[in-house]
A and B are shown apart, each in its own frame.
Chain A
């Protein structure tokens, strides 16, 4: 699985949605299209916004359904980041 180290791109506060969208389109989706998985590594990141996480992963649920979670993993998240990721994941799964 390819590991994407987010800190290098976002710094310790991940809030830039344009950046999140670029990572999704240019790095995550090409791997998924090849049937591979991705590890999003949050090491060094202290905080994220819900908007950043939404722009990073929400469209994957529309493209690949809820099964996306079988191929998408989250590494080195602190508790707050985990909670924000879970909020986004939950409302994307609830939407249908």
Chain B
């Protein structure tokens, strides 16, 4: 496998980075980087760590990052989690208030412990903490329950002061969304599988409306809705497909869509194959106060989606 870090890779311009990913030769990993400057979203780090954990450290060839900004990868724990040396020396700072370094979460207990510890790491007030904890809990539980990934979920996050935004990246190298969804539904492509996974009330665990006693098929819809109302980026990359919720214009009454393709978005269906699932999201902290109003919107959209699906199954009278 080969991964090249370009000078910039954030959710808005991540596509070139993804196109540069070479998934061939699963036993080796080559990591290279732009020589002058590298600046990237935590989702990039989570992806590199996720694939790197499947490769023996001696089979990882990481060229020395010459750009001064390469220190970021060291500080976020990339080389530590991969078990390799970076050749970069940094002065360790207390991480509180800035970022969550790469963290591997393999079970429910580790997730609960992580969530209780993450708030001080990001120095969040209680209102913002609720939203971030909500997102992390739902996304990581999705990985633990559906991905069948031996390495669990790889997560990292960073607070960006200028935009007052928390950037979160979660990656796994499990079975991917298409395989999970196709247990109970039919998705002919990775993109269609992502679409179904984002529709409220659809879960790979059952065809039944309302889900199972354990899964509702609502988690990703909630997360996409938080990003939509906050006017932030949100993306899912699985198999060959990418769905990216784009920033929308500010409106007085934001509208949610049960069908993610009706949201302002971009999509790709021929990217290098990612065995597993990647989720990236940005959350603007000054807008999370809208969470309560968001729940009203979710309630309306969710109920409407179920009614429409039920109606679609109705048989019609034959007038002859």
Contacts and interface: CB of A to CB of B under 8 A. Distances in A.
Contacts, number: 95
B210 A50 contact: no
Most buried by A among B209, B210, B295, B302: B210
B201 A59 contact: no
Judged by DSSP, the binding face of B is helix
A15 B133 contact: yes
B189 interface: no
A83 B296 contact: yes
B39 interface: no
A91 B141 contact: no
B8 to A, nearest CB: 33
Interface string B291-305: 110011011001100
Interface in A46-96: 46-47, 49-51, 54-55, 58-59, 61-62, 79-80, 83-84, 86-88, 90-92, 94-96
B99 to A, nearest CB: 21
B223 to A, nearest CB: 10
Contacts of B310: 94
Nearest to A24: B213
Complex A-B, nearest 3 residue pairs according to Cβ-Cβ distance, in ascending order: A59-B213, A95-B210, A83-B295
25 contacts: A13-B133, A15-B134, A15-B141, A16-B108, A16-B111, A17-B141, A17-B214, A21-B213, A46-B130, A50-B216, A51-B141, A51-B215, A51-B216, A51-B218, A55-B213, A58-B210, A59-B213, A61-B210, A79-B292, A83-B296, A83-B299, A84-B295, A86-B299, A91-B216, A96-B209
Interface of B: 108, 111-112, 115-116, 126, 130, 133-134, 137-138, 141, 200-201, 208-211, 213-216, 218-219, 222, 291-292, 295-296, 298-299, 302-303, 306-307, 310
